[in-house]
Amino acid sequence: MQNAIKVEIKRLAKRAFEKEANAAELEKHYQAQFAKRTGLAAGPSSRQTSPPFSRHFDPKYCARHANFLAKTIWHKVLTKAYEPAPAICYAIPKPDGSHREVMAFSIPDAALANIVLRRSRDRNIKRLSPASYAYHPDKNVFDAILALREFDDRGKLFAVQIDFEKYFDNIPSRYLKRKLEDSGQISLTPHEKHIFDRFMHHQYAYYQDYASGSFKHRHKGTPQGSSVSLLLANLANHDLDVDLTAAAGRFVRFADDVVALSSDYAQAQLIEKCFLDHCRVSGLKVNATKSPGIAIVSSRQQELRTIPYFDYLGYRFSPSGLTAPDKTIRKLKARVSRLANLYLIHYLHAGFNNSRCSGTNPQYDWDLLGLIYELRRSIYGGLSEAEISGFIERGTRLPRMKGLMGFYCLLDDPAPLKELDGWMLSIVRRAMRTRYHILASKYGASCPKPTNKSLATGTWLDPAAWQGPQLPESRMPSLVRGWRAARKHFYTFGLENVEAPKYGFYSDFENLFGY
């Protein structure tokens, strides 16, 4: 165990080095882009690196003293004197105006938590509910989506949606302790129980208050940001999984997000009762504003409350199949608008490099080309137009499948993607017109004024403007084209080599669209 902790400390320290190096490299990239686009020298770096609050947060110190730290921390565990160092609490804003508290633990504590999670999870993997898909080493979000889609809904389809109120923050500690001591549900060593208990009552302070040393103690919930939270969160809902399984129908739980389906109203009522009984026993609370309860999923109004669809795990489920939800569409539009402004308009307020574009023969605009490549990287997961077209038309095997198109390989209805394709062409065309007017009025320069057609086909770029050995792919990427490739890949190879997004992707759009 001590050696495993040492190896994990070194791994986490190395990851911290790589993260810092990537951030510094990205800053240099932004400075170079600024100078290239404006013709001006970029200012000093805006990155502020403050010294770590303690040596245990310093990757250099931890990497050099990994053996000593592992020996010390394991000795404390053996003597049951272990206490995690106070964690740094970050308040992450949520779309509804509230915030999520995420804890950053020291490198040695994080290493211990990772080791304990892996060992306890692997030992108890067969005891986990088969309907629990988050944090499972052999399951991912695609399995959860397919489990719901494949439900036999001949006749009426009842959906039961219940949302727990601040699930991770509100799980009562007494309930978790009782579950940890229940050897009939989970097998843990005494030392593992001690570690879980200490993480459940760790100290913490908000980032801005950490240096003052005024720490708080956790009295309930699980520490988001620590891997021990994953097992604890699953354990807290284990009894609910058992009851829902007995109630029949079909249910899927991804962490605290649960949807249950049934073809019988009485069965749907029983499923709803399972949630309420579980809350009464465990001390969890139902979020009334986000828990619509029982509804019939139908395109026509029925005798009970009827909904045409429900959204779950980044997909919209309806009787006609799977499609993209409105939330994803809004975030996608916001992302594309931000990129279009950044590449085409934003830098013009600081300066302009005349070599970047021309509206005369030959016509070119390297910033527009950069925007197209950035959109393609996100939508196609790094694949080129040639690779996408080759697979669709000739079946040439794709090297990988990820990004936005990889996730939406299960989509049945591409109608929202068609609308988005048209919207993307329109927003880029309008941004180019704004760019044209700014260049003409402020710098006496010019740039292409592409049409939707020339953007879609890539003919806005004059081949004579390119001096390199191979013409760039100037064609705007297409969500529908990406979906066609992803769909064909799914039906040909299944989910082989399709990279599933990590947990949290459907609430954090950057994880999905920012590959």
Are the CB atoms for 144 and 261 separated by under 8 Å? no
Residue 39 three-state SS: coil
Longest pairwise C-alpha distance within the chain: 78
User: Interhelix angle for 228-236 vs 107-123, to 10°?
Assistant: 40
Q: How far is CA 136 from CA 91, 180, 229, 254, in A?
A: 27, 19, 13, 10
Backbone φ and ψ for 31, nearest 5 degrees, come out as: -65, -40
Percentages helix, strand, coil for the chain, rounded to the nearest 5?
Answer: 55, 10, 35
Task: Provide the total of helices (H) and of strands (E) in the chain, helices listed first.
Answer: 19, 14
How far, in Å, CA of 307 to CA of 288, rounded? 18
DSSP β-bridge partners for residue 504 = none
DSSP assignments along 43-79, one per residue: -S-----PPPSSGGG-HHHHHHTHHHHHHHHHHHHHT
CA distance 86 to 223: 12
Q: How confident is the model at residue 46, as a pLDDT?
A: 65
pLDDT on residue 197: 93
Name the 3-class secondary structure at 89.
strand
Neighbours of 386 (CB within 10 A): 10
Tokens found for residue 34: 């600024």
Burial class (CB in 10 A: 0-12, 13-18, 19+), 234: buried
pLDDT at 34: 86
pTM: 0.84
Contacts of 200 (CB under 8 A, 6+ apart): 173, 176, 177, 218, 222, 223, 232
Question: What string of DSSP letters covers 91-111?
Answer: EEE-TTS-EEEEEE--HHHHH
The pLDDT value recorded for residue 290 is 79
Burial zone of 41 (CB within 10 Å; 0-12 exposed, 13-18 middle, 19+ buried): exposed
Q: Is 193 exposed, middle or buried (0-12, 13-18, 19+ CB in 10 A)?
A: middle
CATH 3.90.1850.10 fits 83-288, yes or no: yes
b/e map of 150-177 (b: 16 or more CB within 10 Å)?
ebebeebbbbbbbbbbebbebbebebbe
**H or E element, residue 117:** helix 107-123
Nearest to 180 by CA among 132, 136, 249, 238: 238
The pLDDT value given to residue 446? 92
Domain boundaries, the chain: 83-288, 324-493
pLDDT in tens, 393-450: 998 988 888 878 888 889 998 999 999 999 999 999 999 999 999 999 999 999 999 9
Q: CB within 8 A of 45, min separation 6: which ones?
A: 27, 31
Written as one letter, the residue type at 327 is K
pLDDT at residue 510, rounded to an integer: 41
Q: Which two tokens stand for residue 250?
A: 């079909």
Closest by CA to 325, choosing from 144, 509, 485, is 509
Query: Which portions of the chain are predicted below pLDDT 70?
Result: 46-51, 152-154, 500-515
Is 503 exposed, middle or buried (CB count within 10 Å of its CB: 0-12, 13-18, 19+)? middle
Dist CA 127 CA 321 (whole Å) = 32
